[in-house]
Chain A
Amino acid sequence: MIELNNMCFAYSKNKTIFENISLNLEGNHIYGLLGKNGAGKTTLLKNMAGLRFPQSGDCKVFGMESKERRAEMLENIYFLSEEIWLPNVSIPTYLKMYADSYPKFSTELFNRCLNEFEINAKDKLTNMSFGQRKKMAISFALATQCKVLIFDEPTNGLDIPSKGQFRKLSAEVIDTDRSIILSTHQVRDLESLIDTIIILDNKKILLNNTVDQICERLIFKTLYSLENQPDLLYSEFTPKGYIAVTKNLNGTESKIDLEVLFNMSTQNPDLIKQLFTIKS
């Protein structure tokens, strides 16, 4: 679906964001894009959507150069930015304006999402709070049924129940032909949703593996003491004890801790490179 080949991007000569990154994103996945502030998460998403142009290398979406912004590409890719913009109209007028631009738009799904988020389908967008506007925008994005949905910090501004509803609805729309790419700092919100993790660090892709692959090689566990842990790779102290990451030598099942994985990856990039072969 999305293919990046040796892509380089810089805002200026002194501000290089990506150096020869390669990435291949396929259907039927929910990708979680993680990185420190300024690592280039939003820039990467914008390159994928054709909102920013790479200096060199390719960025192809459905086989088309994303920077060409062809209508056939835009009909199948939806970008929901962190700060959302909606015109000063009512929801029915918004639908009249934009829905028929997306060939697979489902009004039924849109209404179901609105219902789930407890948004009145006849409300005016101007009278809504930021959170409600965001829920409306998420509902619209999901209802477009685009092959690629790009969400930049989707849970920012959502209340606690809405985060759960967002996870539920996002998981529902995924099928073999569709993917979601999420960029987030709120890893706890989306931990259970993401199935593939991409970590950006130091102008490169440090990790691009599925949660299953990670759990095959690593065990995440809580310990009261770090003594007698020969396979210990990384640990973090928390009020409940140590969250430790050890090598998975005997196929033990454990639940991934994205925050710990992220800290471990950025603090020990060489170790991560050793443990995982980056998928291209």
Chain B
Amino acid sequence: MFSFKRLFKQFKINILQNAHRHGLYLLVICLFLIINHYHYFYSGGFERRGILNSAGFVVIIMSILISIDMFKNLVRTDSGINYLMMPATTMEKYLAAWVYSTLFTFIIIITTYFVIHVTSMFIGNLITGLYLPYQYFEPSRLWNFFIKMMFFQSFYFLGAILFKKNSLVKTTAALFFLTIIISITGSFIVKNYLELSNSNIGDSINFNFDGDNSDIMSSNIHASIKYVEEIIKTILYIIPFICWSAGYLKLKNTQI
């Protein structure tokens, strides 16, 4: 039986066990943000690029690093025994790690950005007298960050369970090769699809992957590209769920 009480206990264990390490990550982010704000004021605010733009990238990196940490106990037999013998179901342990490396990490990073930004702007404006405007995260932008984070997190979360040692490097390598394979296969499929569509309408068009394709876009093949785009988008949305499911099954069947 699933229990939210045990899930909460597992979550608490994750927090206490990683408090030192993840606290250090957060400190680095704080320092990075403070330095960023210092430069922002130093340039008199002329650097118009958003001071909060780095949040998306930082959220992804942090969720990757934290995902890798979630199952580090499985690397060694002694710590693995301790992890697997904790009184909670695999689902509760898995969900606790998932929530920690996704929602919790996201909220903590965004809150840190917000607090550091507001504090730095307040102090900066007070000292320099520039009265530069505060910036905010628009909900659509936050959602975009979150979706990107979930996509990368799912790979590294699965990698942390699959690869016992050097999971960060191995998952990155696996992701790299997977991207290459998908790109080549995708290009091949798209090219064939376009040629097929083209032969159907009795027109001869060459799709240039690197160059200008305005002639194609203007034709009714535009609709076909949109269709392929939709398929790719759907696949990208499905991938995280596949990774999370595979990760759960692997964890459930892990033997030490």
Using a CB–CB cutoff of 8 Å, the interface residues on chain A facing chain B are 46, 49-53, 69-72, 74-75, 77-79, 81, 83-85, 87-89, 93, 96-98, 100-102
Stretch from B12-20, B116-124, B239-247 contacting the other chain: B12-20
Known: A101-B6, A102-B87. A87 touches B17 (CB 8 A): yes
| 9 A-B residue pairs with CB within 8 Å | A50-B84, A51-B81, A75-B87, A77-B85, A84-B78, A87-B17, A101-B6, A101-B86, A102-B87
B255, CB-defined interface residue at 8 Å: yes
B165, CB-defined interface residue at 8 Å: no
Determine whether the beta carbon of B256 is less than 8 Å from that of A52: yes
**Closest Cβ of chain A: how far from B220's Cβ, in Å?**
56
| Cβ contacts under 8 Å, B79 to chain A | 85
| Cβ contacts under 8 Å, A81 to chain B | 77-78, 81
- Report the bound CA distance from A83 to B78 in whole Å: 6
| Cβ contacts under 8 Å, B1 to chain A | 71-72
Determine whether the beta carbon of B6 is less than 8 Å from that of A52: no
Determine whether the beta carbon of B85 is less than 8 Å from that of A78: yes
Known contacts A51-B255, A83-B77, A85-B78, then 6 further A-B pairs from the complex at CB < 8 Å, ordered by chain A residue? A69-B89, A71-B92, A74-B87, A85-B76, A85-B81, A96-B12
- State the majority secondary structure of interface residues on B: helix
| Cβ contacts under 8 Å, B36 to chain A | none
- Report the bound CA distance from A162 to B82 in whole Å: 23
B88, CB-defined interface residue at 8 Å: yes
**Closest Cβ of chain A: how far from B168's Cβ, in Å?**
21
Known: A81-B77, A93-B16. A100 touches B9 (CB 8 A): yes
- Report the bound CA distance from A46 to B78 in whole Å: 12
Determine which of A69, A78, A97 lies in contact with B12 in the assembled complex, contact meaning CB atoms within 8 Å: A97
Using a CB–CB cutoff of 8 Å, the interface residues on chain B facing chain A are 1, 3, 6, 9, 12-13, 16-17, 20, 73, 76-79, 81-82, 84-90, 92, 253, 255-256
Determine whether the beta carbon of B13 is less than 8 Å from that of A97: yes
Determine whether the beta carbon of A97 is less than 8 Å from that of B16: yes
Known: A81-B78, A85-B79, A98-B13. A51 touches B256 (CB 8 A): yes
Please name the residue on chain A nearest to B3 by beta carbon. Answer: A71
| Cβ contacts under 8 Å, A89 to chain B | 16-17
- Report the bound CA distance from A101 to B96 in whole Å: 14
Determine whether the beta carbon of B16 is less than 8 Å from that of A96: yes
- Report the bound CA distance from A52 to B92 in whole Å: 20
**Closest Cβ of chain A: how far from B117's Cβ, in Å?**
32
- Report the bound CA distance from A101 to B89 in whole Å: 12
**Closest Cβ of chain B: how far from A89's Cβ, in Å?**
7
| Cβ contacts under 8 Å, A46 to chain B | 256
- Report the bound CA distance from A69 to B86 in whole Å: 10
Known: A53-B255, A71-B92, A101-B9. A79 touches B85 (CB 8 A): yes
| Cβ contacts under 8 Å, B78 to chain A | 81, 83-85
| Cβ contacts under 8 Å, B90 to chain A | 69
Determine whether the beta carbon of A71 is less than 8 Å from that of B16: no
- Report the bound CA distance from A132 to B6 in whole Å: 29
| Cβ contacts under 8 Å, B256 to chain A | 46, 51-52
Known: A51-B256, A88-B20. A74 touches B13 (CB 8 A): no
| Cβ contacts under 8 Å, A72 to chain B | 1
| Cβ contacts under 8 Å, B255 to chain A | 51-53
- Report the bound CA distance from A115 to B255 in whole Å: 35
| Cβ contacts under 8 Å, B85 to chain A | 49, 51, 74, 77-79
Determine which of A71, A85, A88, A96 lies in contact with B87 in the assembled complex, contact meaning CB atoms within 8 Å: A71
**Closest Cβ of chain A: how far from B97's Cβ, in Å?**
15
Please name the residue on chain A nearest to B256 by beta carbon. Answer: A51
- Report the bound CA distance from A198 to B28 in whole Å: 55
- Report the bound CA distance from A51 to B6 in whole Å: 20
Please name the residue on chain A nearest to B81 by beta carbon. Answer: A81
Determine whether the beta carbon of A69 is less than 8 Å from that of B84: yes
- Report the bound CA distance from A52 to B255 in whole Å: 5
- Report the bound CA distance from A88 to B20 in whole Å: 9
Please name the residue on chain A nearest to B16 by beta carbon. Answer: A97
- Report the bound CA distance from A81 to B82 in whole Å: 9
Determine whether the beta carbon of B77 is less than 8 Å from that of A71: no
Please name the residue on chain A nearest to B86 by beta carbon. Answer: A101
| Cβ contacts under 8 Å, B3 to chain A | 71
- Report the bound CA distance from A89 to B253 in whole Å: 29
- Report the bound CA distance from A97 to B86 in whole Å: 11
